[in-house]
Amino acid sequence: MSDLPERISLREVGPRDGLQNEEPVATDGKVALIDSLSRTGVGRIEAVSYVHPRAIPQMADADEVWARIERAAGVRYSALAPNLRGVQRALDAGFDEIEVVVSASDTHNRRNVNRSTEESLDDIAQIVELAHARGATVQAIVATAWGCPYEGDVPLERVLRVAGAALAHGADALSYGDTTGMATPTRVSELVGETRMRHPDVPLNLHFHNTRGTGLANVLAALQLGVADFDASVGGLGGCPYAPGASGNVATEELVHMVEDMGVATGVDLPALLDTAAQAERLVGHTLPSQVLRAGPRTRTAD
């Protein structure tokens, strides 16, 4: 297979995106999960989000989690925030990598943060100014980039316009979120291709949910276009708030297992990650969707 990146960077989002979509778990368990992840070799961990505890009670202990984890050398930790207030809290807690999320779909943005996409975009300029003044970087995550549970397909031009506006407001990096797993490889290629043409130098991360089983196929399509930065969650932790019982993010160990065999380095120790996936499963108290967790690596032999 031609032209795959030699190495990719993974951001583990299980502790945030994953646990946000599970029944609340104890702070101790979250801290232990992040500490285990920190020892797997994964380069980045999205540790918490600063959202209103009434909106997302699963993240009410964000400050405590962040204070108690053992921050490993060589791991970058980030926090997600939906608005200026949340960004302020993340900066006060000492985060220097902030993710701010805005939905390409106006309906989704209103349901999520009670404001229009335009209003959220306007906030980004202020958020960036505040973050930069405190030495932090801002990644703009464009959610519902491949479709919205309320509006259906979101036009490509609209996604590109929202991304362009976030960058024009000073965001340092861009991420596209397939919030409810509506992307397919063709759609990934289209959006990545157009984005690369318009913003060739902007760091681009992709965030896929495996809601409809297309997660790894989407990763492969993006790899073939040279994208080298992906989100994934250990065990496939999480779910979809709009589809009860659906799968969560692409499972980190499935991604690592596939791409490492294709010659793409991740820096992640697969056995350590599988142990952590089992830990995540015990933490939430139910089976997680990861198939590599069930079956083991492809080289595992029968006893």
Q: Which residues bind Zn ion (CB under 5 A)?
A: 17
Whether 240 sits among the annotated catalytic residues: the reply is yes
Q: Is 17 or 106 the residue whose CB approaches Zn ion more closely?
A: 17
Handedness of CA 127, 252, 229, 269 (dihedral sign): positive
Of 160, 154, 95, nearest in space to 127 by CA: 95
Q: Is 127 or 183 the residue whose CB approaches Zn ion more closely?
A: 183
CB of 117 to Zn ion, least distance (A): 17
CB of 252 to Zn ion, least distance (A): 13
Q: Is 17 or 123 the residue whose CB approaches Zn ion more closely?
A: 17
Of 255, 149, 274, 256, nearest in space to 208 by CA: 255
Any idea which residue has 């380069």 for tokens? Answer: 43
Of 70, 36, 5, 79, nearest in space to 235 by CA: 36
CB of 231 to Zn ion, least distance (A): 7
Catalytic residue among 140, 227, 240, 277: 240
CB of 148 to Zn ion, least distance (A): 13
Q: Is 49 or 195 the residue whose CB approaches Zn ion more closely?
A: 49
Distance CA(85)–CA(92), nearest Å, equals 11
CB of 286 to Zn ion, least distance (A): 19
Q: Is 17 or 254 the residue whose CB approaches Zn ion more closely?
A: 17
**Tokens for 55?**
């909106």
Which residues are within 8 A (CB) of 129 and not within 5 positions of it... i.e. 6 or more apart? 170
Q: Is 170 or 241 the residue whose CB approaches Zn ion more closely?
A: 241
Report the residue number whose CB is nearest to Zn ion: 17
Q: Are 145 and 182 in contact (CB under 8 A)?
A: no
How many other CB atoms sit within 10 Å of the CB of residue 147? 21
CB of 301 to Zn ion, least distance (A): 35
Q: Are 270 and 51 in contact (CB under 8 A)?
A: no
Any idea which residues carry the catalytic annotation?
240
